[in-house]
Amino acid sequence: MTETQMLLADDPIWLVLIKVVALFAIGVVLTLFMINWERKVVGRMQQRPGPNRTGPGGWLQSLADGLKLAFKEDIMPAAADKRVYFIAPVISTVPAFVAFSVIPFGGKVTIFGEETVLQLVDLPVGVLVVLACSSIGVYGIVLGGWSSGSPYPLLAALRSAAQVISYEIALGLSIVGVVLYAGSLSTADIVAAQASSWFVLLLIPSFVVFTIAMVGETNRAPFDLPEAESELVGGFHTEYSSLKFALFFLAEYVNMVTVSAMATTLFLGGGMWPWPLSALNANGWLQMIAFLIKTLIFLFVFIWLRGTLPRFRYDQFMRLGWKVLVPGSLLWILTIFAIRAWRSTGGSTTALLVTVGILLVAVLVIAFLVPERKQKEQTIELASDFPVPPLDLKVPTKPARRKRRDRSVGTGRTREPALASGAPAKEDDDV
C-alpha cells in the first residue's frame, strides 16, 4: 500500500463527505463556467460580445439558463417508454461524476487538522475506472434515443454509440504507453512517475492520439456528428426537455472536464508545477491551482476547435479513427516495446528511434495514398444488389433547351412548337 492509499484509508467519514460534495460542486461550477466561457470566447472569435446582460459581465447567464430549464414544462412523447425515458439522463450523468473520484487534484494537505490528499480514492486500477465510466455513459445515450419512440433520436443514438466506442478504443490504446512507463494503473502513481519529466515530452504520439480521441468521445466539434442539426434534427436528446435535457447537457460538459483532467494527470504531471516553479510543489493547495490551470487549457482547446473547424463527414470521422488513430497507436505501442527491449540489451536508442520513425512515416504515407477509385469499386461490388448510379455519371455542361411558348400580342392565341412526329401544332381558339 502506497503512502497516498494509507492517508486516504485513514480519512474519517466527515472528510469523505466533504470531498464528495466538493467534487460535485467542482463539476457543476466548471460546467456553468464552461458554458458561459465558451459563448464568450466564440463570440470574441466572431467579433460579437456574447452573454453580457445577466450578472456582472454576463457571467450569471449559465445559472439563469439552468434555472430556466429546471422550471420549464416537462413534455414526454406519447410513444415513449416512460421508465427508460426517465432513467437514461441519469445513466449519462452519474458515471461522469464518478470518474472524478480517482483523479488526484493535488498533493498532501491538512483539512481541519486531518492530514489527507486532495483525492477521493486511489485505486490500483484508477485509469480503468475512468474508461469504464465513459463506457457506461454510452448506455444513457442509446437508451435515451431508443426510449423516445421516434426514429431520428434512435438513429442519432446509434451513431453516437458507434462514435464513442470507436474512439474509446483509440483512447485506451493511447494510455498503454503511459502505463508501461509508470508501471502502474493508479492515477496517483502515474503523477508521481512524472516528477522528473512529464510524459507529454516522452510520449508525444500517445498525447496526440489521446487529445484527438477525447474530442471524439465527448461528441464535441468538429466531431459533434450525433447533434448534426441538418441531418438528425437535434441528436439523441431531441425529444427531451426541461430537467432531463439539462442532465444530458450537464453530462456532456462534465465529461469534457473529466477527460481534460485525465489528460492533465496522464501527460502533464497532474498538479506538479514546471521547472521554474518547482518549489511550489511542496504545497498541496498550490498543486491544485496548477491542476486547474492545466485543465482549463485543455477546456480552452475544446472551445477553440468549436469556433475554428467545420464538422467532419461521418465517413471521414470513422476513417480517421479506424484507419489512422488505432493503427498508429498499435505501431507506437510496438515501438515502445522495441525501445525498452533495445535498452535492456544495451543498444543505441537514437538509432532505433530514427529507424522506427522512418518506418512509421512510410506506413502512414502508404495508408493515405490508397487509391479512392479502388475503394469505390469495392463499395459498389458490395452493394450490387441495390440500384446505384454509374461511376462515370457526368453532369451536363449545357442546360437543356426549353420549349418555347409564344403568345401573340393582342390576339389571345398561343403558338406551340411542332410535335415530335413532325405534325404542326393546332392553334387554340379564342376564348
The C-alpha R_g of the chain, in whole angstroms, comes to 29
pLDDT (mean) for 167-193: 91
* 401 domain-assigned: no
* Tens digits of residue pLDDT in 47-98: 998 899 998 989 999 999 989 988 888 888 888 888 999 999 999 999 989 9
* pLDDT above 70: percentage of residues in the chain: 81
pLDDT (mean) for 361-385: 58
The count of other CB atoms within 10 Å of the CB of residue 410 is 6
Alpha-carbon distance 186 to 56, whole Å?
Answer: 42
CA angle 93, 99, 103 (to 5 degrees): 145
Q: Where do we find the cell 487529445?
A: 211
Q: Which domain holds residue 202?
A: 3-312
Confidence of residue 233 (pLDDT cuts 50, 70, 90): low
CB-based contacts of 203: which residues, under 8 Å, 6+ apart? 177, 178, 181, 267, 336
pLDDT (mean) for 209-215: 93
Alpha-carbon distance 333 to 263, whole Å?
Answer: 18
* 337 domain-assigned: no
Alpha-carbon distance 295 to 258, whole Å?
Answer: 9
What does the mean pLDDT of the chain come to? 82
* 223 domain-assigned: yes
* 147 domain-assigned: yes
| C-alpha atoms less than 13 angstroms from C-alpha of 113 in its C-beta half-sphere | 0
Q: Which pLDDT belongs to residue 151?
A: 85
Q: Which pLDDT belongs to residue 187?
A: 92
Q: What are 111's strand-pairing partners?
A: 114
Closest listed residue to residue 391, CA positions, set 373, 406, 367? 373
Confidence of residue 371 (pLDDT cuts 50, 70, 90): low
Q: Which pLDDT belongs to residue 431?
A: 40
Do 42 and 50 meet the contact criterion of CB atoms below 8 Å apart? yes
- Report which residue type is found at 95: P
| C-alpha atoms less than 13 angstroms from C-alpha of 293 in its C-beta half-sphere | 12
Residue 161 or 190, more confident: 190
For residue 231, with 0-12 CB atoms within 10 Å meaning exposed, 13-18 middle and 19 or more buried, which class applies? Answer: middle
Do 102 and 120 meet the contact criterion of CB atoms below 8 Å apart? yes
* 58 domain-assigned: yes
* Tens digits of residue pLDDT in 276-332: 888 888 888 999 999 999 999 999 999 999 989 888 888 888 889 888 899 889 988
* 248 domain-assigned: yes
Alpha-carbon distance 55 to 298, whole Å?
Answer: 26
* 190 domain-assigned: yes
Sign of the Cα pseudo-torsion (291, 292, 293, 294, in order) = positive
Q: Helix 151-182 to helix 326-344 angle, to the nearest 10 degrees?
A: 10
Domain count, the chain: 1
* 92 domain-assigned: yes
Which pTM value belongs to this model?
Answer: 0.79
Pairing of strands 406-407, 414-415: antiparallel
Do 234 and 227 meet the contact criterion of CB atoms below 8 Å apart? yes
